[in-house]
Structure 1
Amino acid sequence: MTNVANVQDYGQSGDKKPSVRAKIQAMGGFLTNMVLPNIGAFIAWGILTALFIPTGWIPNEDLGQIVGPAITYLLPLLLAYTGGRMIAGQRGAVMGAIGAIGLIVGSDIPMFLGAMIIGPLGGYAIKKFDQLIENRIPAGFEMIVNNFSIGILGFGLMIISYLFIGPVIQSLNEAMTAAIQALVSTGFLPLLSIVNEPAKVLFLNNVIDQGIYYPLGLQETVEAGKSIFFTVASNPGPGLGLLLAFTLFGGKIARRTAPGAIVIHFLGGIHELYFPYVLMKPLTIIGMIAGGMSGIAVFSFFDAGLVAGPSPGSIFAYLALTPRGNFLGIISGVLVAAAVTFAVTSVILKLDKNKDEEADFSSSLAKSQSMKAEGKQLMNFSGETAEAAATKNVSKISFACDAGAGSSALGATTFRKKLQKKGITDIEVKHYRIEDVPEHSDIIVVHKNLSDRARMAHEDKRIITIESYLNDPSLDELLDQLEQEKK
């Protein structure tokens, strides 16, 4: 039986308004895509800090002099440059960097939050200017207008950033830092897990991780050489504990798939792999929260932290970014989080009266898909179902996720190999951030919790919603349909 609900023609249901969650996800995705291309620079700075500051592995006064200028100038400028480029290409990138230098010189703290605001703002300003003068520049004056427009607008933005925007952002940053530091000093920092763990499962983790914890962590690292903020939302321990519990006490489908998910999650750092298991048994979020809180408590007890944000959040990234003297605390925090989540989740699974988890999974999948789909039996002009039409003459399938570099990459690689095994080699399968999916894509594959956001960005595209990027009935059906089309 084909599941038409999974293939959604948003061109025919475009009147559906995107949810608030989808809008927040999009904002988090935007923040992530300012940070993600520059993660290598952040890691390079973290390694430099771990090695050469006075408390580092091999203290070196000369090389340690790079630490301050790198975090003060290099990293914020990269963020602002990337944010401007996302809005208005190279001209936006230059405007973003010009505006950021005003923030940097006019403040006493690393301007990460400011750079993530002023970069897109600079890009937006030059984009609007370019739209205003489009087709109005006399022939031969294009270069002088293009150069002086950035020069004059950039000059104004730089001065405004220095005198007004910078001080406001610094005040907000200090207020937010003080609030979170209060949690640290009073011992309530573990309570952040009450927000972190549900947010992760709903694909909102990048909003808080990239937008709040990373900037705060980098700021604290300048002073202390490490920060616990890098661990509060990225700990791979809770996900490990959850998947171990499903491996031992879950139903047939969980026992079959969870072991593979453990490898990809814990070693590869792709946390999205455990999200479907929580969605399948929502009560297990209690175990995730308990594990997250336990991990943060252990990190706090040992005064442990990382020197940079682990991206992806794998155990290898954790160990690589752990400074001298913090290995016991970091490893203990990960293991305790895993153990607590395992214990709580195991009890929940054992007490679950519905033992037929495979049927439960299929039921919950069908329910979620029916809520997302509209016009399940819509027919197109030729009399074909929407599903059949969606797989006709397919040449490009795009897997999409929040950042375009984690779960979607895994899903695209896996599905491409399955196509190759079927002898289908003329269909291009690639992965992207949702907003970056090319217009010539025939089918877009996203997790069901990201479907509203995908609809916001691609109203006229056919979207397949899935629960798992690896083994999902919808992907199996799509594979069978494509195979039939090629025969």
Structure 2
Amino acid sequence: MMKTTIQKTGRLLSGMVMPNIAAFIAWGFLTAFFIPTGWWPNENLAKMVGPIITYLLPLLIGFKGGEIVGGNRGGVLGAVATTGVIVGGSIPMLMGAMIVGPIAGLAIKKTDAFFVGKVPAGFEMLVNNFSAGILGMLLAIGGFLGVGPVVESLNALLAGGLERIVAANLLPLASVIIEPAKVLFLNNAINHGILGPLGIQGVQETGKSIFFLLETNPGPGLGVLLAYWMFAKGSIRQSAPGAIIIHFLGGIHEIYFPYILMKPKLLLAVIAGGATGVFTFSLFGVGLVATPSPGSIFALMAMAPRGNLLGVILGVASATAVSFLVGSVILKMDKTLVSEQDLDMARQEIKDMKQSGRGPVKKIVFACDAGMGSSAMGASKLRNKLKARGLTVEVVNEAIENIPKDAQVVIVHKNLLQRAKESSPLAEHIPIEDFLNAPAYDALVERLAAAKEAAPAQGAPSAEPVEAAPAKAAEAPAEGKVEVLQKKNILLNLPPMEKEEAIRMAGRLLVDSGYVEESYIDAMLQREADLTTYIGNGVAIPHGVGEAKKKILKTGICILQFPQGVKFEDDLAYVVIGIAGIGNEHISILANLATVMEKMETVEKVRTTDSVDYIHDLFTSNK
């Protein structure tokens, strides 16, 4: 339970810090270059260092913490509450921001929930604005009178204790906690929650801090990987060089964690290496000016102030050497052979540890640029797979910018993965290439099914999530209402053409039927230029995104059949579906598409049929 709580805390802290890491690095460069002990001291430019650490960074963290918990309104109140904390203390209030930001988000979330259904029509904006304003005032006062002074007192207590540890030359012993914590994915709570704020305070006082080096030193992991490269056998040995490059040069430390889990005795190697590195850093009196993120050797060198570069490099080298020596002895004495299967099992254990503490999966979100095309079909397909296994998980589709804050799993095209991570930093992200045929769907379903079966046996809360939100079926058109898919907008036996021409043809049908404005066609072409709309099984779904949604007058779909295919990147699309979706009226058609196009015999018939009625019935059936 404690480990789970710490992991959740670590993810929350990481979610507040990592989206703002560029601001920390910018502050670090300003500090490294322009303060009196920097590379190029400049009194005028150094004036920016204080305001950034005192005001900007805490406000960014407070806003992000509030936004994660309570959306944009939570972010605003998180910043307001952080202002009170800043004014209430005399030190950089990063820790204070990490406390009050999420509290503010939770407060506005609960307040908004309280007023649901209780506000008379016409008074919604008044209640929303004044409730947030009053709550923001109270949070700012609480931060000023309570959180700020308390955090400052705790910080002084903790800093005093660490100063005594440093004075007694006991700081290397921190590796006994830090190195195993990294493998257990508890490092975020330690690094962002304790070491980072203390390091920043040290930079303000001396222009550098050793605390930035305690967790980020790549030497211990490098030593273990080198030991595997030298003394392991078979495929494990062959995998080590690639892992070394990713870890040491790329800064992705978790690449070496499975190698530790295969032989847990190697924890002794990374502990010894880490302690040696810290001792070397202390011996040379070196530090960094900001957290190096990611923990690459290049990042460490970039964050080293003038006169500290050699000591930092020697600390990394000594940690590598000791970790290598201890790791080599362990590997040579341990005659147990390890295989590629053992490495895969260790990687799966790492994955399981990363996901532990998230609780039962209650919401899965398919995200794409528009949230109305490929993501809708992917959501429908996964929803059917979950239903077949008796799992009732809420599966929705959204635009990337609108991913709900309570999303636990986000499925997204691999090319949009980074944007999705920025939009939902606390969620698990699953990248895919094909929304119709992704092996990740089956893997996710199996994982959820296993969790459901295991939870009761372990005495844990049931893994069965809340009731799913079914796909909303298209309503039968009322009198005078235009159908989402009209038979006149189904064109068959079209000759081969360039994809741009096919997209223009689909867009023209949408325009002529009154679904969209003329400029929507250009938006469809731009979407295709940014990221292909081919989704697999011979289907492409061109549509506009972003601002183009304002050009949609009403929901509509058109279907174009190309028996010989239209080339989309390296694939042939035999069915091109133009989409203009406002609400959920088109979702049932896309749900049918995801179902029927799963069978290759159906795909072939759709590609070759001469019957408009067949196509129309196939995609509009409510079965």
Which category describes the TM-score, using the shorter chain as reference length? 0.7 to 0.9
Among residues 188, 198, 207, which one is paired with 1:225 in the alignment?
A: 207
Per the alignment, do residues 257 and 363 of structure 1 end up closer, same or farther by CA in structure 2, a change over 3 Å counting?
Answer: closer
Distance 1:180 1:138 in 2: 56
1:357 aligns with 2:349: no
1:436 positional shift: 5.0
Paired position in structure 2 for 1:29: 11
User: Residue deviations 1:206-251, cap 9 Å, x none?
Assistant: 1101111011111111111111000001100111111000011013
Asked if 1:254 is matched to 2:236, the reply is: yes
Question: CA 1:75 to 1:486, structure 2 compared with 1: closer, same or farther past 3 Å?
Answer: farther
Amino acid at match of 1:442: Y
1:316 aligns with 2:315: no
For residues 101 and 297 of structure 1, do their structure 2 counterparts lie closer, same or farther at Cα, with a shift above 3 Å needed? same
Following the alignment from structure 1 to structure 2, what is the Cα–Cα distance between the partners of residues 363 and 138? 58
State the match for 2:192 in structure 1: 210
Q: Secondary structure at the match of 1:305?
A: coil
Say if 2:418 is the partner of 1:435. Answer: no
Aligned ranges 1:174-253 → 2 under 5 Å = 174-253=156-235
Deviation of 1:170 after TM superposition, in Å, equals 1.0
Quickly say closer, same or farther: Cα 1:87–1:225, change in 2 above 3 A: same
Q: Distance in 2 between matches of 1:89 and 1:458?
A: 28
Give the 5 Å matches for 1:381-392: none
Change (3 A) 1:436 1:246: closer
- Give 1:131-142 correspondences, 5 Å limit: 131-142=113-124
User: What secondary structure sits across from 1:312 in the alignment?
Assistant: coil
Amino acid across the alignment from 1:116 = M
Q: CA deviation at 1:168?
A: 1.1
CA distance in 2, matches of 1:223, 1:457: 48
Decide which moves more: 204-213 or 357-366: 357-366
Residues 362 and 155 of structure 1, relative CA distance in 2, 3 Å threshold: closer
> 1:442: Cα distance to partner?
3.2
1:22 Cα deviation after fit: 2.8
Q: Spell out the pairing of 1:26-175 with structure 2 (5 A cutoff).
A: 26-175=8-157
Q: Which residue of 2 aligns with 1:472?
A: none
Residue identity matched to 2:120: P
Aligned residues: 397
Call closer, same or farther: CA 1:159–1:295 in 2, change over 3 Å: same
Select which of 311, 317, 321 maps to 1:339: 321
Give the partner amino acid of 1:435.
A
Pairwise CA distance, 1:437? 4.7
CA 1:164–1:212: 2 relative to 1, 3 Å: same
Distance 1:20 1:58 in 2: 46
State how far apart, in whole Å, the 1-side matches of 2:143 and 2:274 are: 38
Q: Structure 1 pair 32/329, CA: closer, same or farther in 2 (3 Å)?
A: same
Q: What whole-Å deviation, never above 9, does each CA across 1:350-406 have from its counterpart, x for those lacking one?
A: 11122x22188279659969x99xxxxxxxxxxxx99x979xxx999xxxxxxxxxx
Alpha-carbon deviation of 1:174? Answer: 1.1
Cα gap change, 1:151 to 1:238, in 2 (>3 Å): same
Matched, 1:275 2:274: no
Which residue number in structure 1 is paired with residue 529 of structure 2? none
Counterpart residue identity of residue 58, structure 1 = W
Shift in CA distance, 100/49, structure 1 to aligned 2, threshold 3 Å: same
Bigger radius of gyration:
2
CA displacement, residues 3-46 of structure 1 (integer Å, 9 cap, x when unaligned): xxxxxxxxxxxxxxxx4423321210111000000000000000
Deviation at 1:138, TM superposition (A): 1.4
Task: State how far apart, in whole Å, the 2-side matches of 1:89 and 1:152 are.
Answer: 18
- Structure 2 unmatched ranges of 5 or more: 354-384, 398-408, 466-597, 601-623
Gaps of 5+ in 1: 1-18, 373-384, 397-407, 418-428, 462-484
Cα deviation for residue 142 of structure 1 reads: 1.5
CA distance in structure 2 between the aligned counterparts of 1:295 and 1:367, rounded to whole angstroms: 30
CA-based RMSD of the aligned residues comes to 3.6
Give 1:86 shift.
0.4
TM superposition shift of 1:135 = 1.7
Q: Partners in 1 of 2:425 and 2:54 — Cα distance?
A: 29
CA 1:331/1:91 → structure 2, altered by over 3 Å: closer, same or farther? same
> 3-state SS of the aligned residue for 1:325?
coil
Deviations 1:129-157 (A, max 9, x none): 10000121111111121111111111111
Q: Which amino acid aligns with 1:338?
A: T
Amino acid at match of 1:231: L
Equivalent-residue separation in structure 2 for 1:395 and 1:192 (angstroms): 44
